[in-house]
Structure 1
Amino acid sequence: MNPRLLLFVCLLSLASVRGQVSYSIPEEMPKGSLVGNIAQDLGLEMKRLISGKAKIYSRSSGEYVELNRERGVLLVKERIDREALCAETALCALHFQIILENPMEHYTVNIQITDINDNAPAFEKTTVEFRISESAVIGSKFELAAAEDLDVENNGIQKYELKPANNFVLNLNNNPDGTKNVEMVLQKPLDREKQEEISLVLTAVDGGEPQMSGTMMIVVTVLDANDNAPVFTQQTYKATVTENSPKGTIVAAVTASDADQGSNSRITYSIKNRGGSLRHLFEINKENGKIVLNENIDYEKSKSFQISIGATDDGGLTDSCKLIVDVLDVNDNKPEINIMSKSNIIPEDAKLNTVVTMIHIEDLDSGDNGKVQCSINENVPFILKSTRNNFYSLQTDSELDRETASEYNITVT
């Protein structure tokens, strides 16, 4: 339904002014903590905040910050957990507007939420097992599940340690998204007759102060001969899927081969990504390597996925590949019209270009699907102007005469 704005004529002076201020605060600050002196930083008098009925306009950030008009300050309204607010995004910020009336003004406020080291690295499993043939050659690689640390930058994972380092050493590979592939590399031949089982501890350490760490136990059972590891036909697979595709849609299929015979050539496929929603979105057929959708995908939430896939033969040797899935957008979101601030009355002697209403238009789709045109009905003495990206102001466009028309109904489309 299109919002309708009812405008009456009365004595009121209106203007539009813009400014911007930025703050930076750590997460987990107690309720009531000072964010900043907004009156001082915007150059506003306290009485202006009160007479202008200053308020916060926000689509999502208002629940965390509140405005104290009497003191002219911004305060923490609710404890802010950066990891809950911004998930794995390194840069986390709140964005909102300070709105004043009579005359009408709005100011942009940005608050960067910095990370504190309040999460330790953690592995999805506390113990993993490998069955490795004693004939495995030096340099054979065995992929390990990386740890997850919800903190970012220096507070995130900085290094891994593997102990003891007699038969295996660690190999770390950097991914484009900043994560690491962790591999255990055989550096000394295994001898089942001397040691049938090997226990190792993998430790992930972050760079916070104080440092925090998490561990995973690795149990290696040494088997008799398995000479060949699985090999994927490609190291990187690519696929596309349309958002809102139904559950069960086949996204792609990966294939690996093993030169061994019998059970040592039998391959099992698996998704290696740790935690998060990705493992719920996709499912792989362990026998044929087909990847299917397990839940609906929303382009507005995720435009691309990188899936790590493993192939393991019955002898314990592995290979891995990546599947990059790009999500295609469909026009499944209508534009939303949000009234930031409005005045229902205006004097008949108001000057041209007097601002009476501020509007924010939002469409969650991308590309042409997210481009919006905004208009009002004709034959009214008002004009809709774009102040900046998706922000509009309704302004007077000609002289008003109360005796001719005492009110106007304006439809914004």
Structure 2
Amino acid sequence: MRTQIQRKILFWQALICFAFLWSNTEAQLRYTIPEELKEGSIVGNVAKDLGLDVSEISNRKLRIASESGKQYFSLNLRNGELLVNEIIDRETLCGQSTSCVLPLQLIIEDPLQFYRVEVDVQDINDNSPSFLSDTHIIDVSESTLTGARFRLEPAQDPDVGSNSLRTYSLNKNDFFVLNVKNDKDGTKVPEIVLQKAVDREKQSIHHLILTGIDGGDPPRSGTTQITVRLLDANDNAPTFEQDLYEIKVIENSAPGTIIQIVKAIDLDDGVHGEIQYAFGSLTPEPIKHLFAIDSNTGELTILKSLDYELSSTYKFDIRARDKGVPVMEGHCRIQVAVIDINDNAPEITIASSPKPVREDAPAGDMIALINVKDLDSGLNGNVTLAISPGTPFKLKPTFSNHFALVTDAQLDREKYPLYHIELIASDSGTPPLVSSKHITVNILDVNDNPPVFSEPVYSVYIKENNAPGSILASVTASDLDTGENAKIVYSVLDNKARDVPVSSYVYINSENGSIFSMHTFDYEKMKVFEIVVHAKDNGSPPLHSNATVRVFILDQNDNVPAVIYPSAVTGSVSHQRMPRSAKTGHLVTKITAVDADSGHNAWLFYRLAEATDASLFNVNLQTGEVRTKRSVSEQDDSSQRLVIEIKDNGDPVKSTTVTVDIIIEDEFPETIKDFREKSTETNTKNGKITLYLIISLAAVSLMVLMTCSILVIKCARSNSGNSSCCIRPADSGYKSSNRNLQIQLNTDGPIKYVEVLGGDMMSQSQSFGSYLSPMSEFSDFTLVKPSSTTNFTDTLNVLDASLPDSAWTFESQQVSA
């Protein structure tokens, strides 16, 4: 006996060592183990069988999940061994089924992989055959003929296969022998057969022992005691028309439905032939709650709807008993097969929840694992799975009723940051049943959008003489990305303005794009400059863009008018002469001043502030000409002092003064002498003036001729309006141009000034101007030295402001393409 037990143990140990088997099913790993293994017993090494290193078990988050909902197994994360987590009782788990397979899901999280493992639990002979009752009483009429058979209750053995019930044995006696009958369903039914007539008067009771024996090694057995009571009279038992009734019932049939009418025949007459039907004495209580038998008619009905998913078959006995004395009975077996209908919707299980997906994920990336199942059978349990349309995902079948959710198109987080996906499962029943489940897939951002400024070009206007550190402008860029990919840093590209780096003029707040000045700006030196702002995000790699900020300096009245005639030396006094014979309106002198400011700030006004005799002289408000208001009389002093104030049109007003001493001469000899001296001096000056004037007129004429020729050629070649030629009335402002030639005329004909300009408003142009005083007594020719376009143009603006509307400017302007 001990040798057999040791042999048994060695057999199971060998079976465990070679448990890993590839089956013909869809499982990727299959192990076979015996039931009742102790907790911690090794089933197999899944890591080794899958080709995983020990380090990958934890790094890739290897885990198992049971489809049955109960964890019979655990995973050793140190070495990848699959261990028994709880003692498995095959009979409790699978009942009388010949196959007992526990499906497992093996999931590797990173990257996501899925395997199916099946553990086949083999039966061991751990259950002995047992009878529902320890005693069984049989009434036998003494008139019963030999060969009569008496059915006994079969023994039950939860084990299957070779370990299940194999045979019966009956203790040795003189009257009865054992006969074992096999039903159509394979059940072994014991019967005792009367082999010798009995005599109640000699022995009224016979005690027999029935033993059920299984086919295990060693075999196990169970017994029940049979008491045979001998009776008189009624010697024919009821006999059913069929020993086995096979009935098919559609599940969910209405309660009260008659599913079968059983009928038994008794050859006896009278009360001995009256039959009553009932369930067999050993019928389980659950059967009596599902079915009912009419005792008189034998109609078998259902008490409540059957459920195929709970049980597909039911087996029980019907007893037919007569009313004779002693009572005799017959039995038949009822086998009810439940026909499945499509009454269960498919179930969707998310085996691995979806993780966030990068928007640059390639097509085919696995996102989630999904299982579907249907409790129905056949076509009713055949399930298809689909997803809602309009999403960049698709389902990829892995194996039976298992699907992988994978990417199917390019993702764009800026358009769709997340997707709500509906999973729709449908079976093949008639009509089909449908169920659904929603999952959410979040899209992770990648740096695929550069910063974008609200405007490509910003125009900013600031006044000159601004305070250093004042804000000039604020630029704003936005980024469609999120997080660090949308965090923007601003900077200024170090281009140059007037050969000076822009970074020396301004600085920018790198966080909010506010631009501040670093020093005071002077309109007279610089009117406009450009800042190129660079916006870069914090992505990897970073993306960037640029915007241009054009800063225009606005003029302020910060320059005092400067007197250029009669003298530009501060504090000096000009001496002028006039004859006492001068009449009303006689031109004594002309005050000429300029203002470095522009526009209204450079408009100048002249007035007589002080005079020895205010009734004698008058100053023109616009031109600065000093003329007599009346004829000079003998009583007027020969020495007159005038203080003339020059004001600009700015706010606040700035002004300056010039002092002119006038000598009134009335003695003829002195006049002749002075006239000769002055004539000689004047001739010399006039000679120089004439020479300079000839040179200037020749240069001007040449420049006008060249400019007109160029303009005519340009106008003829250009069809897009890139160049323009115009003759228009002069206004107070001067446009910035690449080339500019201007001749300014007085109302009375003489040339007031000639100006030749070159360059644009952003460069230091060379300009030459000539100013001719319109005085009759003193004619000065002044050649102004080369200066900046800005300063000299401002000077001309001041001079133009004093001209009447009849003055015209001939302007030739070449506009750069």
Give the TM-score band, short-chain normalised: 0.7 to 0.9
Distance 2:166 2:337 in 1: 29
Q: Does 1:219 align with 2:230?
A: no
Aligned residues: 396
SS at match of 1:47: helix
TM alignment of 1:66-145, pairs within 5 A: 66-145=74-153
What's 1:389 paired with? Answer: 400
What's 1:200 paired with? Answer: 208
Distance 2:51 2:186 in 1: 41
What's 1:31 paired with? Answer: 39
Q: Does 1:189 align with 2:200?
A: no
Contact 2:283 2:316 in 1 (8 A): no
Q: Write the deviation string for residues 211-266 of structure 1: whole angstroms up to 9, x where unpaired.
A: 32211111111122323221223334343333234555433221112121234223
Contact 1:61 1:95 in 2 (8 A): no
What's 1:304 paired with? Answer: 313
Choose from 33, 50, 53 the match for 2:61: 53
Q: 1:189 to 1:164 in 2, by over 3 A?
A: same
Distance 2:379 2:167 in 1: 44
Q: Write the deviation string for residues 314-358 of structure 1: whole angstroms up to 9, x where unpaired.
A: 435443323332323333222111011133222333232222111
**C-alpha displacement of 1:157:** 1.8
What's 1:351 paired with? Answer: 362
What's 2:300 paired with? Answer: 291
Distance 1:39 1:177 in 2: 44
What's 2:172 paired with? Answer: 164
Higher helix share: 2
Distance 2:42 2:31 in 1: 11
Distance 1:208 1:239 in 2: 34
TM alignment of 1:354-365, pairs within 5 A: 354-365=365-376
SS at match of 2:356: coil
What's 2:389 paired with? Answer: 378
Q: 1:123 to 1:363 in 2, by over 3 A?
A: same
* Corresponding letter in the other structure for 2:387: I
Contact 2:255 2:302 in 1 (8 A): yes
Q: 1:279 to 1:51 in 2, by over 3 A?
A: farther
Q: Write the deviation string for residues 19-69 of structure 1: whole angstroms up to 9, x where unpaired.
A: 722112222222222221111122111222212212212221642111122
* Corresponding letter in the other structure for 1:159: T
What's 2:411 paired with? Answer: 400
Distance 1:178 1:115 in 2: 19
Q: After alignment, is 261-270 or 121-130 more displaced?
A: 261-270
* Corresponding letter in the other structure for 2:373: E
* Corresponding letter in the other structure for 1:338: T
Displacement over 6 Å in runs of 4+: none
Q: After alignment, is 382-391 or 71-80 more displaced?
A: 382-391
Identify unmatched segments of 5+ residues in structure 2: 1-25, 425-817
What's 1:411 paired with? Answer: 422
* Corresponding letter in the other structure for 2:109: E
Choose from 41, 44, 52 the match for 1:44: 52
Contact 1:358 1:393 in 2 (8 A): yes
Distance 1:369 1:377 in 2: 23
* Corresponding letter in the other structure for 1:230: P
Contact 2:258 2:300 in 1 (8 A): yes
* Corresponding letter in the other structure for 2:62: A
Q: Does 1:339 align with 2:357?
A: no
Distance 2:28 2:109 in 1: 17
What's 2:595 paired with? Answer: none
Distance 1:408 1:151 in 2: 52
Contact 1:141 1:318 in 2 (8 A): no
Q: 1:25 to 1:373 in 2, by over 3 A?
A: closer
**C-alpha displacement of 1:275:** 4.9
% identical aligned pairs: 43
**C-alpha displacement of 1:277:** 4.6
Q: After alignment, is 341-350 or 131-140 more displaced?
A: 341-350
SS at match of 1:412: strand
* Corresponding letter in the other structure for 1:365: D
Distance 2:383 2:112 in 1: 25
Contact 1:148 1:274 in 2 (8 A): no
Contact 2:283 2:317 in 1 (8 A): no
Q: Flag the structure with larger Rg.
A: 2
**C-alpha displacement of 1:361:** 0.9
Q: After alignment, is 147-156 or 227-236 more displaced?
A: 227-236
**C-alpha displacement of 1:156:** 2.1
**C-alpha displacement of 1:279:** 5.2
Q: 1:320 to 1:288 in 2, by over 3 A?
A: same
Contact 2:396 2:406 in 1 (8 A): yes
Q: CA RMSD in A?
A: 2.4
Contact 2:146 2:196 in 1 (8 A): yes
Distance 2:117 2:171 in 1: 49
What's 1:266 paired with? Answer: 274
What's 1:234 paired with? Answer: 242
**C-alpha displacement of 1:296:** 4.4
Q: After alignment, is 219-228 or 233-242 more displaced?
A: 233-242
Distance 1:295 1:82 in 2: 30
Distance 1:151 1:274 in 2: 21
Distance 2:392 2:339 in 1: 43
Distance 1:25 1:241 in 2: 37
Higher relative contact order (CA 8 A, sep 6+): 1
What's 1:366 paired with? Answer: 377
**C-alpha displacement of 1:105:** 0.9
Distance 2:214 2:246 in 1: 33
SS at match of 1:375: strand
Distance 1:55 1:176 in 2: 46
SS at match of 1:98: strand
Q: Does 1:64 align with 2:107?
A: no
What's 2:183 paired with? Answer: 175
Distance 2:183 2:98 in 1: 16
Distance 1:283 1:88 in 2: 26
What's 1:20 paired with? Answer: 28
SS at match of 1:154: helix
SS at match of 1:343: coil
Q: 1:19 to 1:260 in 2, by over 3 A?
A: closer
Q: 1:326 to 1:394 in 2, by over 3 A?
A: same
Contact 1:158 1:207 in 2 (8 A): yes
* Corresponding letter in the other structure for 1:128: H
Q: After alignment, is 209-218 or 264-273 more displaced?
A: 264-273
Q: After alignment, is 271-280 or 323-332 more displaced?
A: 271-280
Q: After alignment, is 385-394 or 212-221 more displaced?
A: 385-394
Distance 1:180 1:201 in 2: 17
What's 1:250 paired with? Answer: 258
Q: 1:211 to 1:329 in 2, by over 3 A?
A: closer
What's 1:327 paired with? Answer: 338
Q: Write the deviation string for residues 175-206 of structure 1: whole angstroms up to 9, x where unpaired.
A: 34432122112211122232222111111122
What's 2:814 paired with? Answer: none
